[in-house]
Amino acid sequence: MARRNRDRTGGHVGYVGVAHDVALPGLELFFSHVHLHGGPAPVRQYLPELIDLIWRREIDPGKVFDLALPLERAAEGYRAMDQRSAIKTLLTP
- Structural domain range at position 64: 11-92
User: What digits encode the pLDDT tens for the residues 40-73?
Assistant: 888 889 889 988 998 999 988 778 899 999 999 9
Integer Cα distance of 78 and 86 in angstroms: 9
Indicate whether 37 belongs to any domain: yes
pLDDT band, very low/low/confident/very high, at 39 (cuts 50, 70, 90): confident
Residue 4 lies in a domain: no
Q: What is the pLDDT of residues 16-33, one digit of tens each?
A: 877 778 888 888 888 888
In a domain, 5, yes or no: no
C-alpha–C-alpha distance, residues 63 and 59, integer Å? 9
State phi, psi for 59 to the nearest 5 degrees.
-135, 155
What is the number of structural domains in the chain? 1
What is the predicted pLDDT for the residue at 23?
A: 82
pTM, whole model, 2 decimals? Answer: 0.43
> From residue 34, how far is each of 13, 19, 41, 57 by CA, in Å?
7, 17, 22, 43
